[in-house]
Structure 1
């Protein structure tokens, strides 16, 4: 790991960027104390939909959401929140 001052980093940013692209980590300091690191960029992962589908298929699940009612997203009646819940 390489350590450079902020002033040096400012003056050599392009050169340091090339080193970071090669995998080097550069610590930038102010008054001898670490302030931040220059590190190689990592691609962020996302959802692997194919792996999820393969997982479900391996367990015999062909349709994880088998039924959604036609009126699922219809507005609720106005008195829905006013009515008490039924007794059990």
Structure 2
């Protein structure tokens, strides 16, 4: 494993990148304390649309208000409004 200080890394960045590309471990240090590891970029795989289909179940009452949560937001329990906006 190679440890280089920040100023040396600035001066030799291309060489360090080449070393990492070929499998060498490189750590960049500041004041002799390891700061970061220089690592090659890993290409992420593509996401598959619908990969979790059938694995997640949403309860029937998912969009219903919860009286405990309403009380945390509004203080006392608020009376439910009718469909026409009246109590």
Category of TM-score, reference length = shorter chain: 0.5 to 0.7
TM-score normalised by length of structure 2: 0.52
Could you tell me how far 1:22 is from its partner in structure 2?
Answer: 1.3
TM-score normalised by length of structure 1: 0.52
Aligned length: 58
**Corresponding residue for 1:25?**
25
The answer to whether 1:36 aligns with 2:36 is yes
After superposition, give the CA deviation of every residue in 1:41-86 in whole Å (9 maximum; x if it has no partner). Answer: 101223135xx5xxx8xxxxxxxxxxxxxxxxxxxxxxxxx536xx
Structure 1 residues 83, 31: closer, same or farther in 2, change over 3 A? Answer: same
After superposition, give the CA deviation of every residue in 1:14-45 in whole Å (9 maximum; x if it has no partner). Answer: 10011111122210001110111110110122
Runs of 4+ residues deviating >2 angstroms: none
- Superposition RMSD on alpha carbons, in Å? 2.8
Is contact 1:2–1:25 with CA below 8 Å preserved after alignment? yes
**Corresponding residue for 2:71?**
none
**Corresponding residue for 2:82?**
83
Task: In structure 2, list runs of 5 or more residues that go unmatched.
Answer: 54-80
